[in-house]
Amino acid sequence: MRKVLAIVRRELIAYFSSPLAYMVMTAFLLMQGYIFYLIVSFLNQPGTQAMTPLRLFFGGTIFFWLFLLFVVPVITMRLIAEELRSGTLEPLLTAPVTEGQVIAGKFLAALGFYVILWLPTIVYVLILKSHSAIDLGPVAAGYLGILLLGFLFLGVGTFASTLTNNQLIAAILAFAATVALFSVGLLEQLVVSSSFFKSALSYMNLWTQMDDFARGIVDTRHIVYQLSVGLLFLYLATKSLEWKKGR
């Protein structure tokens, strides 16, 4: 555990010593602020159906997904690819550290950075709270949904980063894989008949899962799906790392 934490700390030092982290954070906050403004002003127009603004904020708009799909590869691309490129994997894996501990440390650091990225959005909740009574239950569920999505996508990104020593390729692979995971659930709409196929796709529909969380519905099936797929990719990342260094 101490070794995993040491890797997490090192990774966070690496994030915050590169300008990329600050660019991502700035862009992220600008984007989220703008979305928040759009949502609030849209809902302020008379005649719009009653809907809580935070429900739109948590995955209710395509902006949320677009940005998430862009940001995750940027967070994960460096993790292993850079170690492979610079050769630092060698001193790392000749220390008494297992591949699993390396992946765990790297992934938790990415998740930590992702959480830090979202933390300032709590201000929006506070702003809304000061103007109207809002139910904090769905808000908490929304944040849980965001954390789970992060777990899933960052797991995929970590795996992508073990496949190449080129950060750009790692980012593109992560982007392609997360987009595929996101889109596969959306195909649900195209299947007309209520077959097994449709329900399988619906089980994988991340958009509706996120919407459930934003409405305050914490469904164990969603949690199991996102955690298990995330863990599967982390396992693959460990295997890929073992294989990679053996060549």
Partner 1 sequence: MIEVEHLSKTFVDTPVVDDLSFFVPEGQVLGFLGPNGAGKTTTMRMITAFLRPTRGRVVVAGIDLDSDPVGLRRQVGYLPENVPLYPEMRVDEYLRFRADIEDVPRPQVRENMEYVIERCMLADVRRQVIGTLSKGYRQRVGLAGALVHRPPVLILDEPTVGLDPNQIIKVRELIAELGRDHTVVLSTHILPEVEQVCERVLIIDHGAIVADGTPADLQTRLVGNPALRVELSGTNGQAQEALAALPGVLQVTPAGADLYRIEHQADTDPRESVFHLAVERGWVLTELVAERASLEDVFVRLTTRDAAAPADRPTAPEPVAEEV
Q: What residues contact residue 103 under an 8 Å CB cut-off, 6+ apart?
A: 80, 158, 162, 234, 237, 238, 241
User: For the CA atoms of 18, 24, 26, 27, what is the dihedral angle to 10 degrees?
Assistant: 150
Least distance (Å) from partner 1 to the CB of residue 108? 15
Contact in structure between 84 and 106 (CB atoms under 8 Å): no
Least distance (Å) from partner 1 to the CB of residue 20? 11
DSSP letter string, 40-61:
HHHHHSTTPPP--HHHHHTTTS
Q: What residues contact residue 189 under an 8 Å CB cut-off, 6+ apart?
A: none
Least distance (Å) from partner 1 to the CB of residue 162? 16
Query: CB-wise, 94 or 193, nearer to partner 1?
Result: 94
Least distance (Å) from partner 1 to the CB of residue 79? 13
Query: CB-wise, 17 or 49, nearer to partner 1?
Result: 17
Query: CB-wise, 47 or 246, nearer to partner 1?
Result: 246
Reduced to 3 states (helix: H, G, I; strand: E, B; else coil), residue 239 is: helix
Structure tokens at 87: 């050769």
Q: How far apart are CA 179 and CA 110, in angstroms?
A: 19
Query: CB-wise, 90 or 135, nearer to partner 1?
Result: 90
Exposure string of 113-149, with b = 16+ CB inside 10 Å and e = fewer, is bbeebeeebeebbeebeeeeeeeeebbebbbebbbbb
Least distance (Å) from partner 1 to the CB of residue 246? 6
Q: How many other CB atoms sit within 10 Å of the CB of residue 49? A: 5
Q: How far apart are CA 197 and CA 142, in angstroms?
A: 28
Binding site for partner 1 (CB under 8 A): 2-3, 5-7, 9-10, 13-14, 17-18, 86-98, 245-247
User: What type of residue is 208?
Assistant: T
Query: CB-wise, 131 or 247, nearer to partner 1?
Result: 247
Query: CB-wise, 89 or 171, nearer to partner 1?
Result: 89
Query: CB-wise, 162 or 209, nearer to partner 1?
Result: 162
Least distance (Å) from partner 1 to the CB of residue 107? 16
Least distance (Å) from partner 1 to the CB of residue 236? 20
